[in-house]
Chain A
Amino acid sequence: MSVTHLPNTHYTSLLSAHENNLVGQDVSWLNSLRKKAIEAFSVTGFPTLREEEWRYTNISPIEKKQFAVAEKPGKLDAAFVKAVLLEGCYHLVFVDGFYQAEFSSMDGLSAGVTVSALSEGLSEHESLVKSLLDSTVETPALGFINFNTALFTDGAVISIEENTVLDKPIQLAFISSKEAALKLTNSRNLVLAKASSKASIIETFHSVEESCHHTNVITEVVVEPNANLSHNRLQAESLKAYHIGGVYSRLENNAIFNQSNYTFGANLSRCEIHGTLGEASDCTLNGLYVGQDKQHMDNHTRLNHAQPHAVSNEFYKGVLGDNSRGVFQGRIVVAQDAQKTDAKMNNRNLLLSDRAEVDAKPQLEIYADDVKCAHGVTVGQLDETAIFYLRSRGADKQTAKNMLTFAFANEMIERIDFEPLRMAVLEELLKRFPQAGMKKEWL
């Protein structure tokens, strides 16, 4: 017997209630795209535990809480913004889903690079937006994607011209203000790295207060032949937030894409990192999730090796303490034509308490016969002998555990080349596993 899931009318009615408040309301193709999306959403609703890809993550609290749409940006303390902005970057700041020019800075942006908020640059960059929007996400799209397409209020559109190297990373900072409590925000970012270009993008997510809000953000990425794009994500939202994120990418021939994904915040988070790999492209996915209290963190990666000779390297680490729960689902699909694929996936988890849990599920679907695919999953605890050794030298028990936990997680942080981001991620880790007198340069 199949049970039909009835979409939540609170959410399905949002488009009609807010269509006059959304970016691009006068752009007809966009309006019809939004309509189609909400119609599709009205049929499926949000995913449920009955769906294989969602069996470990129950999003019914999002349904029950009936978040209202954030209609305008809340007030922000300049000091808060300053603290979350990374040095040495261009900055685009979004508050409650709305671009805030006063906090943003694109000064000195080189020619050949387009960076704009959708709310400011949609008409100027309409054809670019049209070519990217909904171009990398799966069809049929998931509930959260349709929901986002129907309701996104803002986001960034970025395009790097051919043979252009961006001198500094672009930081997109998404901040939820005090006023965001019990509100939802939908943002959409669109990134195009044209042939032989090189750029780095950093998305960061923050909350001003420990309030309950819902963030739904999707980034679509196209990396053209021989381009090299790095995309980083630091999610450090309130421990009461609900965060649904996605990075959907298409790598064309010989493209290089490095995606790093650091999860610290939110009561419940789910992040989709999807990529379709063109011929001889190279995709690296690094991830770290650090859960405490009752946090639930779900990372879902999916790499489609569609063409031959592509290489993918995936490494995710999880640290789960208290009653937290982690989910790692890594799926690699190697198409029949994708000969000489070289795909590696590794997921290592550290459980810090008996009550913490992890569901790790690598899935390899291989339809080609001449490929190299390797995957490994481990779930372990801190090494008791090492704890004893550290304590026998004078580190107290908690410090010893923190040191070892830190060392485990730091392996993923060391991989960040850009120092300001590395320090920001380290800071999040140190907040959770404090260590007196630590010098970061000694790590």
Chain B
Amino acid sequence: MLKVENLHVSVEGKEILKGINLEIGAGEVHAIMGPNGSGKSTLSYVLSGREGYDITEGRVLFNGKDLFEMSVEERAWAGVFLAFQYPVEVPGVSNIYFLKAALNGIRKFQGLDELDAMDFISMVKNKMKDLDMDEKFLYRAVNEGFSGGEKKRNEILQMSVLEPTLCLLDETDSGLDIDALQIVAKGVNRLRDPKRSFVLVTHYQRLLDYIKPDYVHVLAHGKVVKSGGPELALELEEKGYAWVDEKIAS
């Protein structure tokens, strides 16, 4: 589904990603771990098409197509979704309208008609129930004044409404209390599907207790320095990133 080949990315002349290689097959769950500042969010943003990054080398194929040839919204239409580490506040735009505009954009691309307003609302309300979100959030401005945990939950709500095929979750678990973590994890698990892949950026094993990854990668200094199975995360939890650094050094 996603193939990242020798990806080099700079911001303002400073190289941040230094040759990333990653292959993610349909239905797989990959976890990316790594120290602060190692480039995890940069990778997520570059995949979703945010401006301000210079791609100096390499390429990314999404279902065989060059991702960098696609605009931000074309990627969303094709099924790429990034749950932001820091979800953006959009004053004056209600959550319900935001969801509707997003879903309409995607449905239009798929050649589908707009969903009927009633069907749409009841669909969204059902998904909110699953995520234990109060309906009043529908009519509040997107993320404005939401608590950290509420913002993260809202990202997952968007993901479950839009049903993307590649879900990038950038530290969705950070800032969630234990109950919220379980709810969010359940939300993600509900979306698991042989045709849908997940990339979970996280610092903590606890998320991976609920969402079991197929692969774990360690990103450090802009490179994937180690890849392995779920046991790698446990090993990291035990030994810390210093252990990985030592291994690179040796």
Contacts and interface: CB of A to CB of B under 8 A. Distances in A.
16 contacts: A388-B49, A388-B72, A392-B72, A392-B81, A393-B76, A393-B81, A394-B101, A397-B73, A404-B90, A436-B104, A437-B101, A438-B97, A438-B101, A442-B139, A443-B94, A443-B97
A386 interface: yes
Interface in B145-198: 158, 162
Contacts of A384: 51
Contacts of A390: 90, 93, 98, 101-102
A396 interface: yes
B92 A394 contact: no
Contacts of A442: 94, 96-97, 100, 139
Contacts of A386: 88-90
B222 to A, nearest CB: 22
B9 interface: no
Contact of A394 (B84, B102, B139): B102
B103 interface: yes
Given A391-B73, A407-B91, A396 B105 contact: yes
A270 B152 CA distance: 47
B84 to A, nearest CB: 7
Interface of B: 48-51, 71-73, 75-77, 81-82, 84, 87-94, 96-98, 100-106, 109, 114, 117, 139, 141, 158, 162
Interface string A295-307: 0000000000000
Main secondary structure on A side of the interface with B: helix
A380 to B, nearest CB: 12
B92 A407 contact: yes
Given A394-B102, A396-B73, 12 more contacts: A393-B98, A394-B76, A394-B162, A396-B105, A397-B71, A397-B72, A400-B73, A403-B97, A404-B90, A407-B141, A436-B114, A442-B139
A136 interface: no
Contacts of A439: 97, 100, 117
Contacts of B109: 394
Interface residues of A, number: 29
Nearest to B105: A394
B101 A404 contact: no
Interface of A: 384-386, 388-397, 399-400, 403-404, 406-408, 410-411, 435-439, 442-443
B130 to A, nearest CB: 19
Contacts of B105: 393-396, 399
Contact of B103 (A394, A403, A435): A394
A416 to B, nearest CB: 16
Which residue of B51, B104, B106, B117 has the most chain A CB atoms within 10 A of its CB atom? B104
Contact of B100 (A392, A407, A437): A437
Q: Which of B51, B73, B103, B141 has the most CB of A within 10 A?
A: B73
A407 B90 contact: yes
Contacts of B72: 388, 391-392, 397
A389 B93 contact: no
Nearest to A408: B92
Contacts of A404: 90, 92-93
A396 B106 CA distance: 9
For B89, B96, B97, the residue with the greatest tally of chain A CB atoms inside 10 Å of its CB is B97
B114 A392 contact: no
Nearest to A394: B105
A442 B90 CA distance: 14
